[in-house]
Amino acid sequence: MSKHYFGTDGIRGTVGEGPITPDFMLKLGWACGRVFARNAKTEGHCTVIIGKDTRISGYMFESALEAGLVAAGVDVKLLGPMPTPAVALMTRSHAAEAGIVISASHNPFQDNGIKFFSAEGTKLADDIEHAIEAEIDKPLTTVSSADIGKVLRVKDAAGRYTEYCKSTVPRNFSLRGLRIAVDCAHGATYHIAPAVLGELGAEVIAMGVEPDGFNINEGVGSTDMSALSRLVVESKADVGIAYGGDGDRVLFVDHNGDIVDGDELLYVIACDRLRRGASDAGVVGTQMSNLGLERALTDEGLQFVRAQVGDRYVKELMEKNGWSLGGEASGHIICSYVTTTGDGIVASLQVLASMRSAGMDLASLRGGMKKYPQTMINVRVSGKVILSEHPDLEPAVQAIEKQMGSRGRVLLRPSGTEPLVRVMIEGEDAGEVESLCKKLAGQVEKILS
């Protein structure tokens, strides 16, 4: 059963265009409140946590969601600007029924969206999302005045989350002697990541820590790492760390200024756990994970399986296999042996701990994985695309696959957050990969237009 509003990771779009409007957010808050109150395990009012990133429209949507929730008889606790994984943590620690994050992640400030967490700090199940959508279609009513929810602002949220992040590494762990350049994307980690790294002993050189509501992800963060690469080289930093706008993803820069993506970070963490005898039988990646990661992990004796793109699907496959490490090339890394969801700060500490444990720099640690050339072209479409409804695509893909043989792979995937179809080809020869990807992208654009 398809969903009308929910995508791969919540609801997202351009501010002022449906459904990212104040009136819809009011209705969404009310619908969520109805569903969460109905499913509450305790008597009386249930509680919902709300956090947000730093984009200007967050104020507007926070107020609208708050009004809808209290109209449904739900109490609300406001965190203010906080990383997405911090909302998951606070949802659990406050025994709340659910957590809501107002964020469009890596998108520019003109966009915004809503993400949800369950009482356990995990993404909502499909049946809950379906139930919320069913409530949205009903007329909004308000509970009696005696049953209206209350609102409280949590004042110590940043400090509590900072201490939690530090608790995910051993008590005697220290970053003393390391110079770390950190880019917070003018986003939700701006007041937390530098504090965590500094309190663990690192010399921190921070950028992207002056949010003004409009500059989130603008030339900074994990979506644009050129400035961080320059900063690492110019400041002679040992390593650079770039977080996404909402703090759930992380990428690194080694001391040479070279970008280290999520696949390579997964490899580094997996190998460290293997050395310490803490590893599971395997690691979960996605359809977009580089073939080099799969082969490198296999060489280490670890299994590798691919989930659909999206951290919720990675987590589901991790749980199914009983494994505790998984992630995406984009930097969503889930270390479920210390947390419940993708957490940029926690994952970055795991990478730094791997460097300390091995006594090696990041450039050396990543050297055991050979990345295969990979080209991806985004084909813009006018709306939601279901690939199975375009049978002409299959012969085009099969022709490329036949030409590549066992030397590579082909993937077409509609984006879950943007009006795009991603065309990806990966193989041994970079020139061939790029040429074939351009050819297939042109065919896809022609067919879908």
Residues with a known catalytic role: 105
Q: Which amino acid is at 434?
A: E
DSSP 163-200: HHHHHTS-TT---TT-EEEEE-TTSTTTTTHHHHHHHT
End-to-end CA distance of the chain: 26
Element (H, E) at 98: strand 98-102
Q: How many other CB atoms are found less than 10 A from the CB of residue 185?
A: 34
d(C-alpha 135, C-alpha 289), whole Å:
37
- The count of other CB atoms within 10 Å of the CB of residue 150 is 11
Instruction: Tell me how far apart the alpha carbons of residues 113 and 125 are, in angstroms, rounded to a whole number.
Output: 18
CB atoms within 10 A of CB 402: 8
Strands, sheet with 47-52, edge to edge from the N-terminal-most edge strand: 11-14, 111-118, 98-102, 47-52, 75-81, 151-153
| Closest residue by Cα to residue 344 from 363, 330, 365 | 330
Q: Of 225, 220, 265, 257, which is closest to residue 238 (Cα–Cα)? A: 257
Give every strand in the sheet of 408-414, ordered side by side: 374-380, 420-427, 408-414
Single-letter code of the amino acid located at 56: I
How, if at all, do strands 408-414 and 420-427 pair? antiparallel
In this structure, how many other beta carbons lie within 10 angstroms of the beta carbon of residue 64? 21
Question: CA–CA separation, 239 vs 244, rounded Å?
Answer: 17
Residue pair 193/241 in contact (Cβ under 8 Å)? The answer is yes
Distance (Å, rounded) from C-alpha 168 to C-alpha 184? 20
Strands, E assignment, 271-316? 282-286, 303-307
